[in-house]
Structure 1
Amino acid sequence: MSAVPPRRPAAGPVPPAVQSTVRELVDVSPVLVELGERFAAAGFEAHLVGGSVRDALLAAGGDAPRPPGDLDVTTDARPEQVLDLLRGWASSTWNTGIAFGTVGAEVRGTRLEITTFRADRYDRISRDPEVAWGASLTDDLARRDFTVNAMAVSLGPDRTVTDPFGGLGDLLARRLRTPGTAADSFADDPLRMLRAVRFVAQLGLTPVEEVVEAMTAMSAELARITPERVQVELSKTLLQDAPRAALELFVDTGLADVVLPELPALRMEIDEHHQHKDVYGHSLTVLDRAIALEEADPDAESPDLVLRLAALLHDVGKPATRRHEPRGRVSFHHHEVVGAKLVRRRLQALRYSREITEDVARLTFLHLRFHGYGTGEWTDSAVRRYVTDAGDLLPRLHKLVRSDCTTRNKRRAAALSATYDSLERRIAELSAAEDLARVRPDLDGNAIMEILGIPPGREVGEAWRHLKDLRLERGPLDRDEAEAELRVWWASRT
């Protein structure tokens, strides 16, 4: 077992402008001011730590200020003493993390996590530490994941910023380092490697060589982490404004081989149009384009995890379906079918919800359907089926299909865009006339049973599906036409 040893000299004085910025962060939160006063009156230290301090310092570096969310505080008070200090002031407290020295509280809508100074030790088997109380704030900061998160601001009257490992310099240089050795840090908690990936996307940081080398050498250690925690970090990365560089680090270090092996597998496959170096690069480009379309749509959910997962994974069926054709061509027939199965299996393994899993798999399955549209040869029936099969995923399918058209041939790109514009116009016209969003048979189950004189059961379902297929093929029927078609179908079965 080992603790992460501080190995870097204490940072120099924090500039006055930075001190002022962080002081304002505390002062704009009456809850933090009051918390500091309560702890100081009882003879205890209290320091704001974590993302709130980091983001305030980013503001001092020229970025737009970021309002704090939940607040993390560290203190030399023990958990039972923290609970005493919160009694009668906090509207609620919870102690689900008290075994790790953390007390949760809510004060006038502000959520706090207050943790006793720690100097944890790890068994290097799980990621759960053997909790050990720290003797000082520096001990506590030394155990944190990265130097940019190992800074604190006192909630006492002086509001002093403590930065023992040079986190401010790293933050302003957009550099990602660990307080101790990267190998020790990641051995203690392998999830930190995925956090490094996320911080590339979230904060625009670049890992130093030592961090990248440790991630590459220790990627297999991610197997110690539960799928649920891995999924949370992957999702947070994908939901950032520009996740591409982070995903490239994810793949290049071998972390993706453990978490999402279908993604690096795409690097070996050459796109059938030869417009990209490989399908992996194409998939990242599709993700970039999907994010741009999502953010440009005022009516769309943004960030949209389902769309981003589908954009990244829509071609994962290509490695298994690759075939060499005459004259040097390469085909990937039915890769959308194989891909949907692979997507479903991988997202289930990562413990994504059933709804997200099925939506991403469905988009993967449907993403090639448009290419059968040609230059508008689809019948109205085919358009209806496209809309019905997509269901409420249709707006996302529009964005995915448009993003997937990444040809560098400007004439071809313009033609594909115009063709999809044509399809969307036809969908709008049919929708206005027929309410395609709610395509259902012209007779419901009760009417079917009454007309045919049959009880509830399998035959009612078969009749309903027949009438729906008829509705998709011919459009709306009036009551008499629908009843006549139902009787003809029923007679053909007997």
Structure 2
Amino acid sequence: MISLDNPRDSAERVVAGMLKVPPLADELGRIFAAHGHALHLVGGTVRDALLGRLTGIGGTGGAPDLDFTTDARPERVLEMTRGWAEATWEAGIAFGTVGLARRGARLEVTTYRAENYDRDSRNPTVSYGDSLEGDLVRRDFTVNAMAVSVPDHQFVDLFGGMADLSRAVLRTPGPPEVSLDDDPLRILRAIRFEAQLGLAPTPELVDAMTARAERLKIVSAERIRDELRKLIISADPVAGLRRLVDVGAAAATLPELPGLRMEIDEHHQHKDVYAHTMTVLRQAMDLEDDGPDEVLRWAALLHDIGKPRTRRHATGGGVSFHHHEVVGRDMTRKRLVALRFPKDVADAITLLVFLHLRFHGYGTGEWTDSAVRRYVHDAGPQLRRLHKLVRSDCTTRNKRKAAMLARHYDSLEERIAALAAQEEISAIRPELSGDDIMEILGIRPSRLVGEARQHMLDFRFDMGMVGRDAAVAELLRWAGERGLPIPGESG
């Protein structure tokens, strides 16, 4: 707290003057003050304001717009804001947090607290604190342990967070061992802040992270997933992912990643898959159109995770990874399901991992229009991402080979565009529907209908649009080959 007897007072007054506190925060602060309670903006809200990242509020549906801490208990917060808040939510009230909505903004108010984990618990146990200092010291890092009172804008920095922010250092307010024992998820948060904000953890923090990485296994899959998703869309996910592996946290959260560090011997040379993967991720990021593309980044990270399980040493040297895209697809789905990823996101990533090798072989000139149609059809809405993933997957230092691969893919995209000008190849359907097939063959819904429809889809790929009469003739031919009775024919 600023005091005239404090030698840091003038600097803190300057900082307080620089912070642009949203009017909504002051409005809420006046309500708390009128009822005899303190209210402070805290955590990432203050950190981002100092970094110039708090550009506005407006309810994005993600993290809350504004975070506050107070001496008032949750029930009291609800009582004081009744009539002011346009909506409230109490999902976090067991942890001392009340959510408020006002003029399109989302605010979270948390009572001073101290929390820690039982050794075998996935969730923190919460007890309320009685001072701002006690609340700040239990926060994860000094850069998140700064506060600004509202409505009078007193800047509070008890643990040197502003100095750490200016030096791009990540440090805990108290001993790092205690902080990480309180909540092991802070290991992932430290890694994410390094990737997102460029804050390097101190050696002491790195040591504590390494010693406690196994403790991440007690944290719920959902909390781990949320941190990993924030990490992958950060400014420098490669730095974060390398730290994830180096401190042992990947082994407890994303074990497929350190698994890419396969031993390489002098007799069976192959590219370092781990280093290759990081290069592919960086190259995929370079191809993003409008901000981070989470699906593309995950696909780039996971595209080769099937290689360790499919590696085979060839006689006389060399290494093969046959069908690693199939194994990788299954591994990807299993990991994303375990991390409770949304199904649509997991499906998109898994499809890209499965298809990332499909292009190879195109350059031999053997691809027919049918093959191109299948490529587009199978990729579906992920086609643009597949283009980027395939191009990113070229990390050869052989400039001639890289240029050749680029030309081949340019050629494929030109053929796709030419076919697309003739037909909507991304939405190819058989010319005969399932109902048509049942009517023509005189059969009821069954697996046979699905088999017939798949055949007609393959026929559509191979022959393009042929018209209904030719499609019916092909269906009857297919049915006859299988000995199916043809309506209208007698024995």
Aligned pair partner of 2:244 in 250, 258, 269: 250
Aligned pair partner of 2:133 in 122, 132, 138: 138
2:195 is aligned with 1:201: yes
CA contact (8 A) 1:176 1:208 kept: yes
Alpha-carbon separation, structure 2, partners of 1:408 and 1:369? 22
What SS does the aligned partner of 2:388 have? helix
> Higher mean Cα deviation, 251-260 or 77-86?
77-86
CA contact (8 A) 1:269 1:319 kept: no
Aligned pair partner of 1:474 in 431, 447, 463: 463
CA contact (8 A) 2:197 2:235 kept: no
2:390 is aligned with 1:401: yes
**Count of paired positions:** 470
Alpha-carbon separation, structure 1, partners of 2:306 and 2:337? 17
Aligned pair partner of 1:126 in 121, 130, 134: 121
2:341 is aligned with 1:341: no
CA contact (8 A) 2:268 2:313 kept: no
What SS does the aligned partner of 1:200 have? helix
CA contact (8 A) 1:215 1:253 kept: yes
Alpha-carbon separation, structure 1, partners of 2:471 and 2:117? 70
2:377 is aligned with 1:388: yes
Alpha-carbon separation, structure 2, partners of 1:462 and 1:375? 32
CA separation of 1:122 and 1:448: change in aligned 2, threshold 3 A:
closer
Deviations 1:124-144 (A, max 9, x none): 432544433322211110010
Deviations 1:83-108 (A, max 9, x none): 22212211122333223222221122
Q: CA deviation at 1:375?
A: 3.9
Correspondence for 1:33:
26
Q: CA deviation at 1:191?
A: 0.5
Alpha-carbon separation, structure 1, partners of 2:144 and 2:292? 25
What SS does the aligned partner of 1:156 have? coil
CA separation of 1:413 and 1:269: change in aligned 2, threshold 3 A:
farther
CA contact (8 A) 1:127 1:190 kept: no
CA separation of 1:67 and 1:493: change in aligned 2, threshold 3 A:
same
Matches within 5 A, 1:267-306: 267-270=261-264, 276=271, 278-294=272-288, 297=289, 302-306=291-295
Counterpart AA for 2:83: G
> Higher mean Cα deviation, 124-133 or 354-363?
124-133
Q: CA deviation at 1:273?
A: 11
Counterpart AA for 2:35: A
What SS does the aligned partner of 2:305 have? coil
CA contact (8 A) 2:352 2:382 kept: yes
What SS does the aligned partner of 2:196 have? helix
CA separation of 1:210 and 1:127: change in aligned 2, threshold 3 A:
farther
Correspondence for 2:48:
55
What SS does the aligned partner of 2:41 have? strand
Matches within 5 A, 1:8-27: 12-13=8-9, 14-22=11-19, 24=20, 26=21
CA contact (8 A) 1:339 1:364 kept: yes
Alpha-carbon separation, structure 2, partners of 1:435 and 1:124? 57
What SS does the aligned partner of 1:179 have? coil
CA separation of 1:117 and 1:258: change in aligned 2, threshold 3 A:
same
TM-score norm. by structure 2 comes to 0.91
> Higher mean Cα deviation, 185-194 or 377-386?
377-386
What SS does the aligned partner of 2:359 have? helix
Aligned pair partner of 2:87 in 85, 92, 95: 92
Alpha-carbon separation, structure 2, partners of 1:345 and 1:65? 37
Counterpart AA for 1:240: S
Correspondence for 2:207:
213
Correspondence for 1:325:
314
CA contact (8 A) 1:11 1:166 kept: no
What SS does the aligned partner of 2:261 have? helix
What SS does the aligned partner of 2:148 have? strand
Correspondence for 1:260:
254
> Higher mean Cα deviation, 323-332 or 426-435?
323-332
CA separation of 1:84 and 1:289: change in aligned 2, threshold 3 A:
same
Alpha-carbon separation, structure 2, partners of 1:30 and 1:409? 58
Alpha-carbon separation, structure 2, partners of 1:458 and 1:102? 53
Q: CA deviation at 1:160?
A: 1.0
Alpha-carbon separation, structure 2, partners of 1:120 and 1:456? 58
Q: CA deviation at 1:78?
A: 2.3
Correspondence for 2:353:
364
Alpha-carbon separation, structure 2, partners of 1:184 and 1:317? 38
Alpha-carbon separation, structure 1, partners of 2:25 and 2:450? 62
CA contact (8 A) 1:284 1:312 kept: yes
What is the RMSD computed on CA atoms of the aligned residues?
2.1
Alpha-carbon separation, structure 2, partners of 1:206 and 1:275? 33
Q: CA deviation at 1:304?
A: 2.3
CA contact (8 A) 1:72 1:112 kept: yes
Alpha-carbon separation, structure 1, partners of 2:477 and 2:93? 71
Alpha-carbon separation, structure 2, partners of 1:263 and 1:240? 18
Deviations 1:192-224 (A, max 9, x none): 101111101111110000111111111000011
Alpha-carbon separation, structure 1, partners of 2:38 and 2:445? 71
Aligned pair partner of 1:172 in 141, 166, 174: 166
Alpha-carbon separation, structure 1, partners of 2:192 and 2:7? 25
For structure 1, which runs of at least 5 residues remain unmatched after alignment? 1-9
Correspondence for 1:106:
101
> Higher mean Cα deviation, 244-253 or 129-138?
129-138
CA separation of 1:120 and 1:369: change in aligned 2, threshold 3 A:
closer
CA contact (8 A) 2:264 2:270 kept: no
Correspondence for 1:448:
437
What SS does the aligned partner of 1:406 have? coil
Alpha-carbon separation, structure 2, partners of 1:273 and 1:303? 37
Counterpart AA for 1:471: R
CA contact (8 A) 2:213 2:252 kept: yes
Q: CA deviation at 1:423?
A: 0.4
CA contact (8 A) 1:270 1:279 kept: no
Deviations 1:148-168 (A, max 9, x none): 0000001032x1110101000
CA separation of 1:252 and 1:311: change in aligned 2, threshold 3 A:
same
What SS does the aligned partner of 2:363 have? coil
CA separation of 1:254 and 1:11: change in aligned 2, threshold 3 A:
farther
Alpha-carbon separation, structure 2, partners of 1:124 and 1:142? 21
Identity of aligned residues (%): 58
Correspondence for 2:216:
222
Counterpart AA for 1:445: G
CA contact (8 A) 2:123 2:219 kept: no
CA separation of 1:487 and 1:209: change in aligned 2, threshold 3 A:
same
What SS does the aligned partner of 1:371 have? coil
Aligned pair partner of 1:189 in 179, 183, 188: 183
